[in-house]
């Protein structure tokens, strides 16, 4: 199920972070009635899963995925995001 989900995300060019994969796998485990005691989506588990499935970090963006720097709405949204984020400690 997880591999199919990851594979379905590739055409969307949306980033699939390791943390997101772990969250998604926990959701699948819950759907399959697997308790958190029986399955923990640890970083080691994720590493082994990626090795088994031949997954590697893939560049999910490039020229096609670049932000249109002439779109004023997008630039304003990024500016608002920077204003919000600057209030948090790194």
State the 10-residue block means of pLDDT for the chain, 90 residues long.
83 77 87 87 86 68 57 76 77
CA atoms within 13 A on the CB side of 2: 23
Query: Distance between CA 29 and CA 45 in Å, rounded?
Result: 13
Q: Give the per-residue pLDDT at 57.
A: 59
From residue 68, how far is each of 54, 72, 77, 78 by CA, in Å?
33, 9, 12, 12
Task: Say what the pLDDT of residue 68 is.
Answer: 64
pLDDT at residue 61, as a whole number? 46
Global pTM reads: 0.54
Residue pair 73/21 in contact by the 8 Å Cβ criterion? no
Per-residue pLDDT tens for 31-54? 999 988 888 888 888 888 888 888
Instruction: Enumerate the domain spans of the chain.
Output: 2-85
């Amino acid at each position: 199920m997880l591999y199919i989900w990851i594979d379905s995300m590739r055409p969307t060019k949306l980033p699939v972070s390791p943390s997101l994969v772990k969250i998604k796998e926990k959701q699948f485990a819950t759907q399959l009635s697997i308790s958190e005691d029986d399955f923990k989506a640890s970083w080691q588990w994720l590493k082994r899963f990626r090795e088994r499935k031949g997954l590697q970090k893939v560049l999910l963006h490039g020229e096609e995925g670049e932000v249109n720097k002439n779109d004023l709405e997008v630039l304003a949204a990024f500016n608002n995001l920077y204003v919000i984020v600057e209030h948090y400690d790194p």
